Amino acid sequence: MNKPSLIALLVSSALFSTAAMAQQISGKVLDSQGQPIINATVKIIGQNNQVTTNQSGVFIVNIDDKGGELHIFAPSFVHKNVMVSAANNGDLEVKLEKAAIEIIDVVASPFHNSNIESAMPATVLSGDNLRMSQTSTLGDTLKNEIGVHSNFHGGVASTPIIRGLDGPRVLIAQNGLDAGDASRVGPDHSVSAEATTSERIEVLRGPATLFYGSGAIGGVVNVVDDRVPTSLETKGEWLIQQDSVNDKTQVAGSVNHSVENIVLHLDGFWRDADNYEVPSEHGIDEIDSSQHESSGYTIGTSYLLDQGYVGVSYQELSQKYGIPGHSHGDEEVPVIADMSQNRLQLLSEYQFNHYFFNSMRNKVAFTDYQHQELELGHVGTTFDNETLEARIELLHNPLAQWRGGLSLHYKESDFAAIGLEAFTPASITRSSALALVEERHFGNVLVQLGARAEHTEINADLVQLPNVTLYDRQGHEQHNELHYDMRHFNVSHTFKPVSFSGGLVWDFTPGYNFAVSVSRAQRAPSSSELLSFGPHIGTNTYEVGALFKNYLNSDDEAYIGLTDQDIVMETSNNLDLSIRKYQGDFGFIFNVFYNQIDDYYYQQAIGLSASDGHDHHDHGHDEHGHDEHDDHGHGNHSDHVGHTLPLYMFVTTDAKLYGAEFQVNWRINDNFNAKLQGDTIRARANGNSELPRTPPTRLAGELSYEHTHYRADLKLSHYFEQTNLAQFETKTDSYSILDIHFNYFVDIANHSVALYLKGENLTDEYAKVHTSFLKDLTPLPGRNFAVGIRGQF
Partner 1 sequence: MKTFTPSRLFLAIAFVALAGCNNSDTKITELPVAEDPGHGHDHHAELPVGRLAISEADQPVVHIFDLESNQLIETVTLTNPASALYASPDNRFAVAVQRNEDTVEFIDGGLWQELHGDHYDQHKDEPSLTSFSLTDAKPTHYVPRGDKAAVFFDGNKDTDTVAGLAVLDDESIATNKVIAEHHFDTYMHGTAEIRGDYVLTTLRDPSSESTLPEQITLLEMHGDHFHQEQVFDVMCPALHGSYQTEDYIAFACGDGIVSIKQDGNLFSAQKLTNPTTMPEGVRIGSLKGSEESNVLIGLSRGGVFLVDLEENQITPFEWQPEPDINYLSYGFDGHHEHMAMLDNTGKLNLYAAEDNWQLSARIDVFDSIEADAKPLIIASKAHEHLYVIHEHHVMTVNLETQEVTESIHLDFDAGKAAWLGIKGEHEHDH
Interface residues with partner 1 (CB under 8 A)? Answer: 15-17, 19, 353-357, 377-378, 394, 396, 406, 408, 418-419, 422, 425-426, 434, 436, 451-453, 455, 461-462, 464, 484, 486-498, 522, 524, 547, 562, 566-569
Nearest-angstrom CA–CA distance, 500 and 205: 16
If the CB atoms of residues 281 and 566 are measured against partner 1, the closer one turns out to be 566
**Strand, coil or helix: 724:** coil
Residue placing its CB nearer to partner 1 in the complex, 486 or 749: 486
**How far is residue 266's CA from residue 314's CA, in Å, rounded to a whole number?**
10
The answer to whether the beta carbons of residues 631 and 646 sit under 8 Å apart is: no
Closer of 91 and 484 to partner 1 (Cβ): 484
By beta-carbon proximity to partner 1, the closer residue of 500 and 590 is 500
Cα 322–Cα 325–Cα 326 angle in degrees, nearest 5:
80
Q: Which is nearer to partner 1, 98 or 455 (CB)?
A: 455
Residue 456 CB, nearest distance to partner 1 (Å)? 9
Report the first-to-last Cα separation within the chain, whole angstroms: 42
Nearer to partner 1, 57 or 322 (CB): 322
**Nearer CB in complex with partner 1: 582/602:** 602
* Closest distance of CB 400 from partner 1, Å: 15
Give the number of other Cβ atoms within 10 Å of residue 780's Cβ.
25
Shortest gap between Cβ of 397 and partner 1 (angstroms)? 11
Identity of the residue, 308 or 497, whose beta carbon is nearer to partner 1 in the bound complex: 497
Strands 644-667 and 586-611: antiparallel
What backbone torsions phi and psi does residue 748 show, to the nearest 5 degrees?
Answer: -125, 100
Q: How far is the CB of 288 from partner 1 (least distance, A)?
A: 15
Query: Helix (H, G, I), strand (E, B), or coil: what is residue 211?
Result: helix
DSSP string covering 2-48: -HHHHHHHHHHTTT------EEEEEEEEEETTSPBPTT-EEEETTSS
Q: Give yes or no for a contact between 32 and 98, defined as CB atoms under 8 angstroms apart.
A: yes
Q: What is the dihedral of CA 112, 114, 120, 122, to 10 degrees?
A: 130
The least CB distance from residue 537 to partner 1, in Å, is 15
- Please answer whether residues 120 and 517 qualify as being in contact, where contact means their C-beta atoms are separated by less than 8 angstroms: yes
Measured in degrees and rounded to the nearest 5, phi and psi for residue 631 equal -120, 25
CB 750 within 8 A of CB 246: no
Cβ-based nearer residue to partner 1, 86 or 408: 408
Best CA proximity match to 538, nearest among 726, 375, 695:
375
Residue 435 beta carbon to partner 1: minimum distance, rounded to whole angstroms: 8
Measured from the CB atom, is 33 or 490 closer to partner 1? 490
- The residue type at 88: N
Q: For partner 1, which is the closer residue by CB, 397 or 680?
A: 397
State the nearest-atom distance from the C-beta of 598 to partner 1, in Å: 13
| CA 701 to mean position of chain CA atoms | 24
Nearest partner of 163 among 581, 731, 623, 693, judged by Cα = 693
The residues with which 13 forms a beta bridge, in sequence order, are: none
Query: Whole-angstrom Cα distance, residue 567 to residue 622?
Result: 33
CA–CA separation, 540 vs 563, rounded Å? 24
| Whole-number Å distance between alpha carbons of 360 and 350 | 5
Q: What span, in angstroms and rounded, lies between the C-alpha atoms of 743 and 745?
A: 6
- Taking the least distance from each CB to partner 1, the nearer of 110 and 425 is 425
Q: What is the spatial distance between Cα 189 and Cα 156, in angstroms, rounded to a whole number?
A: 9
Give the bridge partners for 134, in sequence order: none
At closest approach, how far in Å is the CB of 360 from partner 1? 10
Counted residue by residue, the chain has a size of 793
Q: 164 near 785, Cβ under 8 Å?
A: no
Q: How far is it, in rounded angstroms, from Cα 528 to Cα 463?
A: 11
Q: How near is the Cβ of 462 to partner 1 at its closest, in Å?
A: 5
Report the residue number, 42 or 336, with the smaller CB distance to partner 1.
336
| Rounded-to-integer distance, Cα 523 and Cα 51, Å | 42
Are the beta carbons of 235 and 793 closer than 8 angstroms?
yes
Q: Which is nearer to partner 1, 347 or 426 (CB)?
A: 426
Cα(758)–Cα(375) distance, integer angstroms: 35
In the bound state with partner 1, the residue whose beta carbon lies nearer, of 408 and 714, is 408
Find the shortest distance in angstroms from Cβ 739 to partner 1.
38
CB 648 within 8 A of CB 745: no
In the complex, what is the shortest distance from the CB of residue 19 to partner 1, in angstroms, rounded to a whole number? Answer: 7
